[in-house]
Copies of this chain bind each other. A is one copy, B any other.
Amino acid sequence: MPKAVRISLDAMGGDHGPSVVIPGAALALERHPDIRFLMFGNEATLAPLLNAYPKLKEATEIRHSEIAISMDEKPSQAIRMGRGKSSMWKAVQAVRDNEADAAVSAGNTGALMATAKICLKTMAHIERPAIACMWPTLRGESIVLDVGATIGADAGHLVDMAIMGAAMARIVFDLDRPTVGLLNVGTEEIKGIETVKEAARILKESSLPNLDYRGFVEGDDLGKGTVDVVVTEGFTGNIALKTAEGTAKQIGEYLRSAMSRTLMAKIGYLFAKQAFDALKDKMDPRKVNGGVFLGLEGVVVKSHGGTDALGFASAIDVAYDMAHFELMNTIRTMLEHGPLDQPA
């Protein structure tokens, strides 16, 4: 029998807490029957909700926690009141204590990152964690990082991110040598920020065996899917991600309003409904939910706070893949071949 994949859940995290986490977990379990859940939260709340999902109940162990970290808690406050006690902390600690292979929380990003950093610690040779997300593209999907773990990055951090992102791409896309680009304001070598240019030089000269460095990419390459992995500093990455999400919503609004303006348009919409539904499905942000924290001694996945059960299930899917295909070991192996050990 194959080994179960053990996932710990912060059942109290997110805008909707257990009312989204539990049905989300049930959905994920249907897709991956080999998951075993450790669910942290208020037992009195969780137990009755779980009764509605007999299969999930069977695959889940509830661990009581009195404290839930709210969505607007400052990271420092989340640590002060949550250390060792909150459902968020305990879910992450389960990974540290090897009771779980990955943790998932829809709690606030800052608090979760602070918790993960303190509880799990960063990997050897990695100074700063990053958050990687799946980015839908015309060619399929790319991995983009950092979308908001840390503000500011020097050349070394960018190179670390390139390696970690490529490790994740190996797993997610099943590629031997994922292509990697550095986000910049132009593709010419002379352009851009010094740190980005320096990172480019290092990546080029170290010619890593498991990573195909392709140079600079620009903002519009994200949607094109020019490379498998796009690396950027967290401030810019976060703004790019939210700008793309905002633009997608905006065009969705335009489309909705165009299709309801005239009778002819409404008739056309009815004929093409299936196509519109397919498009809506393709653009559904819930399907790419799940930011992966990279660079920590353990797998933590952050779900959007406002997502629903379908979205939360996607975040669990991501955690499952990372745990099942051994993200940690892949990163470790790639770091061993990294520029740190290369002759200058």
Q: Point out residues on A near B: beta carbons under 8 Å.
A: 72, 74, 136-138, 148, 151-152, 183, 185, 188, 190, 192-193, 218-224, 232, 234-236, 238-251, 253-255, 258-259, 261-262, 264-265, 267-276, 278-279, 282-283
The CB with the most chain B CB atoms within 10 A, among A185, A223, A235, A243, is that of A243
Which residues of B have CB within 8 Å of A246? 219-224, 244
CB distance from A67 to the nearest CB of B (A): 22
| In contact, A255 and B279 (Cβ under 8 angstroms) | yes
**Known contacts A251-B283, A274-B264: does B236 contact A239 (CB below 8 Å)?**
yes
Interchain CA distance A132-B225 in the complex, whole Å: 27
| In contact, A272 and B268 (Cβ under 8 angstroms) | yes
**Known contacts A152-B193, A185-B235, A219-B238: does B275 contact A272 (CB below 8 Å)?**
no
Interchain CA distance A156-B72 in the complex, whole Å: 30
**Known contacts A185-B234, A185-B239: does B249 contact A275 (CB below 8 Å)?**
no
Top-5 shortest CB links A-B = A268-B272, A219-B242, A268-B271, A220-B246, A223-B246
| In contact, A193 and B274 (Cβ under 8 angstroms) | no
| In contact, B258 and A278 (Cβ under 8 angstroms) | yes
Interchain CA distance A241-B220 in the complex, whole Å: 9
**Known contacts A219-B241, A275-B262: does B268 contact A74 (CB below 8 Å)?**
no
CB distance from A112 to the nearest CB of B (A): 14
CB distance from A183 to the nearest CB of B (A): 6
Listed A/B pairs (26) with beta-carbon separation below 8 Å: A138-B250, A138-B253, A183-B239, A185-B235, A193-B235, A218-B242, A219-B240, A219-B246, A220-B242, A223-B246, A224-B250, A235-B236, A236-B236, A239-B239, A239-B240, A240-B240, A240-B243, A244-B246, A248-B251, A258-B275, A258-B282, A264-B271, A265-B274, A267-B272, A269-B272, A271-B271
Interchain CA distance A234-B192 in the complex, whole Å: 10
Which residues of B have CB within 8 Å of A244? 219, 243-244, 246-247
Interchain CA distance A274-B259 in the complex, whole Å: 10
Interchain CA distance A259-B274 in the complex, whole Å: 10
